[in-house]
């Protein structure tokens, strides 16, 4: 279905724009006549997408190298975009990685890596672009969180922590930013068929094979990034606050709000099933005194 074309001539800055959801958002915006900055650590794929869009879309595209984990990198990229395009109307704070596994298998870096990209990357985007939008007295910040930012999940504690934080930031900023004429939305995708399902670029999943992860994802009917972007952008343009796509995942969000304890019980059943099919690679530790008892008998 065609999206309202009021993004024509607007400037959008999309982090993680070289792959998956970011690439689909950038493509949809350019198709509707926007000028798009595809900002990503993967500059090669970003340039390829920009070339494709410059040769076939109604808009204009630029590729720019960005490491969202670094504020100076973000500031440099944003300064360049504003120097050449004059303004930023949409910031899609979308870059993200997945680090999967149960907490008992985590190394400290499994927390740091995901917090650096998924949380600090969003913070850096806001710090770099919000003042520009305040100066323009207009703009729209669209942060990508996840359904994992709304409900109880298992096997992705660090990821879910960052996504809950992104939802919290977005809700607060939405209320505060109104007086500056700046809108804020947060995208909460269910499951979308992108490389992140197996950890994605720069992410990882320990102890579970890609095949197992993909078969888990397929069992909950993932949608394509294009379908996601189309539906999500329609809600963004209507100024919605929390955007869950596909909509049927909202049932889990309702359950979480209705009864957090029931939601946790449901997730406990799910974890039990997952462990039966894919036993965790790290066995539960044997308590020290139990081990000594065993040695003495």
Ligand X SMILES: NC(=O)c1ccc[n+]([C@@H]2O[C@H](COP(=O)([O-])OP(=O)(O)OC[C@H]3O[C@@H](n4cnc5c(N)ncnc54)[C@H](O)[C@@H]3O)[C@@H](O)[C@H]2O)c1
Q: What tokens does 91 get?
A: 């910031």
Question: Per rule CB under 6 A, is residue 96 in the interface with ligand X?
Answer: yes
List, in sequence order, every beta strand (DSSP E) within the chain. 11-15, 35-40, 60-65, 90-93, 99-100, 139-144, 182-189, 204-205, 242-245
Q: Which is nearer to ligand X, 218 or 293 (CB)?
A: 218
# residues near ligand X by CB under 6 A: 32
Question: Per rule CB under 6 A, is residue 88 in the interface with ligand X?
Answer: no
CB of 203 to ligand X, least distance (A): 7
Per annotation, catalytic residue among 90, 130, 159, 202: 159
Question: Per rule CB under 6 A, is residue 117 in the interface with ligand X?
Answer: yes
Question: Per rule CB under 6 A, is residue 201 in the interface with ligand X?
Answer: yes
User: CA–CA separation, 87 vs 79, rounded Å?
Assistant: 10
The DSSP H or E segment spanning 253 is helix 250-258
Q: DSSP letter at 198?
A: G
130 is catalytic: no
List 7, 18, 88, 184, residue binding ligand X (CB under 6 A): 18
Q: Which is nearer to ligand X, 100 or 200 (CB)?
A: 200
Q: Which is nearer to ligand X, 73 or 263 (CB)?
A: 73
Place of tokens 């995901």: 114
- What is the DSSP secondary-structure string of 154-194? SSBHHHHHHHHHHHHHHHHHHHHHGGGTEEEEEEEES-B-S
List 12, 28, 29, 41, residue binding ligand X (CB under 6 A): 41
In the complex, the residues that contact ligand X under the rule CB under 6 A are: 15-16, 18-22, 40-42, 66-69, 94-97, 117, 121, 144, 146, 189, 191-192, 194-197, 200-202
């Amino acid at each position: 279905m065609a999206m309202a074309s009021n993004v024509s001539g607007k400037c959008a800055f999309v982090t993680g724009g070289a792959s998956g959801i970011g690439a689909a958002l950038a493509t949809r915006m350019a198709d509707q006549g926007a000028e798009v900055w595809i900002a990503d650590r993967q500059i090669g794929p970003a340039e390829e997408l920009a070339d494709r869009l410059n040769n076939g879309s109604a808009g204009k595209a630029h590729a720019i190298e960005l490491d969202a984990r670094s504020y100076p990198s973000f500031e440099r990229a944003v300064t360049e975009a504003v120097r050449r395009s004059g303004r930023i109307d949409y910031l899609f704070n979308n870059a993200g990685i997945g680090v999967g596994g149960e907490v008992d298998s985590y190394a400290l870096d499994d927390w740091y890596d995901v917090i650096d990209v998924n949380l600090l990357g969003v913070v850096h985007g806001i710090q770099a672009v919000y003042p520009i939008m305040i100066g323009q007295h207009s703009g729209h910040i669209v942060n990508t969180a996840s359904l994992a930012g709304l409900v109880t999940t298992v096997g992705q504690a660090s990821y879910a922590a960052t996504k809950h934080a992104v939802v919290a930031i977005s809700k607060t900023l939405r209320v505060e930013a109104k007086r500056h004429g700046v809108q804020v939305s947060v995208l909460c995708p269910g499951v979308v068929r992108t490389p992140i399902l197996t950890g994605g670029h720069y992410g990882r999943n320990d102890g579970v094979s890609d095949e197992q992860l993909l078969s888990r994802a397929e069992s909950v009917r993932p949608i394509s990034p294009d379908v996601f972007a189309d539906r999500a952008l329609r809600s963004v343009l209507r100024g919605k606050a929390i955007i869950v796509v596909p909509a049927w995942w909202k049932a889990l969000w309702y359950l979480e709000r209705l009864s957090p304890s029931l939601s946790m019980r449901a997730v406990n059943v799910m974890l039990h099933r997952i462990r039966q099919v894919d036993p965790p690679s790290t066995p539960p530790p044997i308590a020290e005194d139990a081990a000594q008892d065993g040695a003495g008998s």
